[in-house]
Homo-oligomer: A and B are copies of this chain.
Amino acid sequence: MTYANALAALADPTRRTVFERLRGGAKPVGEIANGLTVSRPAVSQHLKVLKEARLVTEYRDGTRRFYAIDTQGLEAVRKYLDGFWDEALTRFKAFAESEEPRRGKRKGKSK
């Protein structure tokens, strides 16, 4: 059930920011934390969560710890989401959209 951990990990905004900072490639913790509003220990804690969710990998070089994106967690989430694109689902969706207007008022407001 890695997809569950990955979803929970990606749900937090600052943790997503940490994760997104790894887009360009592997970075040590200090560099990741630099410029963020939260403290460096907070970043360490986020990285721990991301690691357990298979979203990042870690390797050490001297005194530093480099973190890089791990595609395992991403793939797990992707697979989970793909399970909702069944033809049965989209077929129903088409049905609902043609049925709904007859029922009456759809709430057009966004938020």
On A, residues with C-beta under 8 Å from B are: 4, 7-8, 10-11, 13, 16, 23-26, 52, 57-61, 66, 68-71, 74, 77-78, 81, 83-86, 88-90, 92-93, 96, 99-100, 103-107, 111
Name the one of B59, B77, B81, B83 contacting A103, with C-beta atoms under 8 angstroms.
B59
Pairs A-B, 4 closest by C-beta atoms: A11-B11, A59-B100, A8-B11, A25-B92
What copy number does this chain have within its complex? 2
- The reply to whether A96 and B13 contact each other, CB–CB distance below 8 Å, is no
Contacts of A104 in B (CB 8 A): 60
5 contacts between A and B (CB under 8 A): A7-B7, A59-B99, A61-B103, A68-B96, A71-B93
Residue of B nearest to A96 (CB): B68
Residue of B nearest to A2 (CB): B110
Given contacts A4-B13, A26-B96, contact A74 B69 (CB under 8 A): no
Given contacts A68-B92, A96-B68, contact A81 B84 (CB under 8 A): no
- The reply to whether B84 and A74 contact each other, CB–CB distance below 8 Å, is yes
